[in-house]
Amino acid sequence: MIDLDKIAKAIEVDAGMALPGLSESLAEMRRGIVGRIHTPEQILIRSARNKTGKTQQAFAELIKTPVATLRDWEQGRFNPSGAVLCLLHLISNHPDMIDELSQLK
């Protein structure tokens, strides 16, 4: 039998971050329960924004992006560019740098 916890840990190592609910999602998948699909990009975007404590509007302003674009990224309609993903990784891993970002003009 497949060890779902082992698979979840491997996925989290590959993603470079904890993914809350992953083990439960894998168990649901095994039972045939279909739910919403979330891409790694969507998870990263929401994680970075949540770690800053900012609303979509405030976070979009912070990263100089239209709020509609941020919503599209969070809902998986479009993926951000590589440069934006790099910025989001930095914010997610170092949310304390948010003060420096807010000073950029």
Do 56 and 23 reside in the same domain of the chain? Answer: no
pLDDT tens across 30-49, in order? 888 777 778 899 999 999 99
| CATH code for the domain in which residue 73 is found | 1.10.260
Buried-exposed string 34-66: b where 16+ CB fall within 10 A, e elsewhere: eeeeeeebbbbbbbbbeebebeeeebbebbeee
pLDDT tens across 50-101, in order? 999 999 999 999 899 999 999 999 998 999 999 999 999 999 999 888 877 7
pLDDT at site 57: 96
Domain count, the chain: 2
Residue 102 binned pLDDT confidence (cut-offs 50, 70, 90): confident
Q: Which domain holds residue 20?
A: 1-35
Do 20 and 45 reside in the same domain of the chain? Answer: no
105 pLDDT more than 80: no
Structure tokens at 2: 């497949």
Do 46 and 11 reside in the same domain of the chain? Answer: no
Q: What is the mean pLDDT of residues 9-29?
A: 88
Mean pLDDT, the chain, whole residue set: 89
